[in-house]
Amino acid sequence: MRPGFGSNIIPTAESMKYAQQLGVVDIVPSTEHLPSINGTWALHDLVNLRRNVENYGMKVSALENVPIEFYDHIMLNGPRRDEQVDNMITTIRNIARAGIRIFGYHWMPSMVWRTPTKLIRGGAVATAFNYEEANKMPLTHGRVYTDEEMWENLEYWIKIITPIAEEEGIRLGIHPCDPPVDQLGGIPQLFRSYDNYRRYLDIYPSDNCAIEFCQGTVSEMFDSEGDALYEFIAEMVQKKKVLYVHFRNVSAPNPEDFHEEFINTGHVDMYRAMKTYYDNGYDSFFIDDHVPHTHLDTDWGHRGRAFANGYIQAMIEAVTKQGGCVT
């Protein structure tokens, strides 16, 4: 287990120096600067991204989130679905051939939603969500979609792309829907429960079909009361389905009304969570995510991220040195 760095880090000289100083090796860089060429990412651009990070003694351990316009018709069975499938096959092949072995993405045509922010410890600003407020928003894609439509679209995609991933030696993981409520803007949020994740993994059982495990979003789920979150972590780690972890904390296992918290507050026992990963043989990395905005911090959150990353490193060291199982 080891610390990593992500959360939209653009690999500039300044950001890479910052990551070096925090002592990380695994980088999940921002892809916002990658040019789109006919709805794909080009191999040479991906190789240049990897080499840029390697020049600083670190590695691109994963990429996450292509532009939504790369695959929105795949998610919603739009008229350009098969064109986008072909383009995504090209992009995923290019990611693998560039030497990047993990690709994380989401199944949220309406993207991540938040409502007005909340002040938490010491006046830090945290993102928040209230379902009642969100439901006042209009439909995002012109009509209401059903769960079964979205499952049919997902199954169509998974059965095509998983054999490609196996062929190329790249592992693909889907991020939970954030927030994990029934629907947003008329779009069902499929990845809102433990059982829905199990259903997804059963579509095409493969080592190459896995989870971009955002612990924060999973801990927002109604499922995550009591011991259930730690049991789900253990289950997915034992099955080798956790590609890497967004190690963050939230206020409650209630997707309809929650806010982000500092990593050492919130409803999740982060030591117990870290110990559960360790005890079940997790061997990948952790990144911070959605950190609160602290006093005099930068827009990107250098201070908040330093605090979260230091906490992650301390937790890894603590459970590794102690060993044994959670009691």
Burial 247-273 (b: 16+ CB within 10 A, else e): bbbbbbbbbbbbbbbbbebbbbebeeb
Write the DSSP string, 113-176: --EEEEE-GGG-EEEEEEHHHHTTSPPSSSSPPPHHHHHHHHHHHHHHHHHHHHHHT-EEEEEP
Would residue 81 count as lying in a domain? Answer: yes
Domain assignment present for residue 327? The answer is: no
pTM: 0.95
Is residue 218 included in any domain, yes or no?
yes
Q: Which CATH number fits the domain that encloses residue 138?
A: 3.20.20.150
From residue 162, give the alpha-carbon distance in Å to each of 105, 132, 156.
Answer: 14, 37, 11
- Give the chain's domain count: 1
Q: Which two tokens stand for residue 172?
A: 């693909």
At residue 24, the pLDDT reads: 95
Per-residue model confidence (pLDDT) at position 70: 97
The position carrying tokens 């008329």 is 186
CA–CA distance, 94 with 191 (Å, rounded to integer): 27
Residue 194: inside a domain: yes
Whole-angstrom distance, CA of residue 295 vs CA of residue 261: 15
Its domain, for residue 38, covers 2-322
Residue 97 placed within a domain = yes
* Amino acid 191: pLDDT: 98
Distance separating alpha carbons of residues 49 and 66, to the nearest angstrom: 15
Its sign, for the CA torsion 154, 158, 160, 161, is: positive
* CB neighbour class for 9 (10 Å; exposed up to 12, middle 13-18, buried from 19): buried
For residue 52, being part of any structural domain is answered with yes
* Other CB atoms within 10 Å distance of the CB of residue 143: 9
306/150 Cα distance (integer angstroms)? 38
* Distance set, CA 48 to CA 54, 98, 303 (Å): 10, 9, 29
Structure tokens at 298: 């930068």
> Measured on CA atoms in the order 284, 173, 129, 117, is the torsion positive or negative?
positive
In the chain, how long is the greatest CA-to-CA distance? 55
The reply to whether 9 falls in a domain is yes
- Residue 296: helix, strand or coil by DSSP? coil
- Per-residue model confidence as pLDDT tens for the chain (327 residues): 999 998 788 899 999 999 999 999 999 999 988 999 999 999 999 999 999 999 999 999 999 989 999 999 999 999 999 999 999 999 999 999 999 999 999 999 999 999 999 999 999 999 999 999 999 999 999 999 999 999 999 999 999 999 999 999 999 999 999 999 999 999 999 999 999 999 999 999 999 999 999 999 999 999 999 999 999 999 999 999 999 999 999 999 999 999 999 999 999 999 999 999 999 999 999 999 999 999 999 999 999 999 999 999 999 999 999 885 554
Q: What is the pLDDT of residue 327?
A: 41
